[in-house]
A and B are shown apart, each in its own frame.
Chain A
């Protein structure tokens, strides 16, 4: 048990997420207890509106939790300053960046901000890390292109390279596969899997690509109306969790193939 604890990088205790309004707390999900291990690829799935983004936004400290605790590297997230967190956790969001008028290299270099001096001078070490991040994602050839010249798939890779350059233990991605075609969906998720293996980073992403996630992830977090379950995909299948994801009138989950079928 103690050995297992060393490998836990992110942990929640009785976490309750949602939105605070003046009258009452609007609870999206509660009693969330998850433990994420180092170097694993973790997929977060659930129906639309179930609170995937809310959970991710809470974990990356963009919005406050309602109650409960989040520990990153055994430290309470509430006690962690944004500057400290910037060296432990990096993000890739669905929101468009404000300006696409930066070159790919400049954009990836922004990932070094937590480490650079007041004016953002890049040291030799910074430059090496930026180049390595570009190589890991196979976009070295794009580095002088402007971001507005890129396709959605390329841009997603650039944003992942930026997160890599930030050199954090954890990378959190909110729906990295939206807007992408089938090939690029698989490509990005496969890339994330390779990155966990090659860099030892923990990568948590939310996605609607449940079938791909089942095949690639080490661990999956499934959000249903009543519960948030965190386990290995094969265990989740044998426990029949995926069948509870959606209303059964239209699609059903086929345990033998690990895929969804539309009812005829």
Chain B
């Protein structure tokens, strides 16, 4: 069919763009490395040892993190928008990010309560990762428990938002009693960061991401049924409770892991599915899901390259860049097409 051919060309283009962005992302930074040398460096045969170390230990893990974060958040956003039939939904509507924030806030801001020496010991990188995962996991459990009782999908959306409000309030109370340094540390976590992941951390990240992705791919057929609405989906033999559970689980696995390792990165999850729908002009998840995956990865790589402020020693907070770059693009696309695709 004609359609299939168009899709194939679009996917091929996205793949090539992704590869280019990946290489450019690695080549840019405080020290620029020429593209040809980047490719050599990826195969470990670079003569310049400093460059080889920069690529292998810093830039490559960072680029892979960017790909995982961008694609993962995009997919989580897509799952939530379809499940909640709401174009404003994103990966964090279930309170995942606020749960993670709460965990991190308790560790950083509440550490004063545990006493001096213990506190500095507590705030290591891993403890933040664990606190963030635990926080989002607990909020998620609460949402899941509620969602098995509530039949209305919209009610779950509101409940997720309410959990978010509660945790945000607790974080405010904690920050009120914190010192300036603690607050600063907490705010820095909130900026999000793609760098500083070791290969060990990255492989754990990757494993959880793949698990979530697997669940998402498994839900493609159900997601398409859900496009018709809950009653139609049920009449097509879909077990609403179970498929809802799997979709929520996939989202929280992916978004929760990302938040734990890279901080609460806003905007991408909400915007990427919309951008992809505008370009591919379909809501068929067999097309959308892989497209969102590629597109999210590309956008995140571009945002990260900008955040590095090439040839300077400064690095901007990635969380600010995603919105600064992304929001105008979404506005421009919506104004140009004059119509939202959903």
Contacts and interface: CB of A to CB of B under 8 A. Distances in A.
Interface of A: 60-62, 82-87, 89-91, 93, 95-99, 101-103, 106-107, 110-111, 113-114, 116, 118-120, 144, 146, 166
B236 A166 contact: yes
Interface string B269-310: 000000001000111101000000000000000000000000
Given A119-B220, A120-B221, A99 B234 contact: no
B36 to A, nearest CB: 40
B37 interface: no
Which range contains the number of B residues in contact with the other chain?
20 to 34
Contacts of B283: 99, 101-102
Contact of B227 (A102, A146, A166): A102
Nearest to A116: B221
- The binding surface of chain A is classed by DSSP as loop
B232 A99 contact: no
A86 B234 CA distance: 8
A4 B279 CA distance: 57
B229 interface: yes
Given A62-B231, A82-B239, A83-B237, A98 B286 contact: no
A110 B224 contact: yes
A97 B227 CA distance: 7
Contacts of B3: 103, 144
B218 interface: yes
A113 B225 contact: yes
Given A101-B282, A119-B286, A120-B286, A86 B227 contact: no
B281 A113 contact: no
B85 interface: yes
A252 to B, nearest CB: 37
Contacts of B323: none
A174 B284 CA distance: 26
Contacts of B85: 98
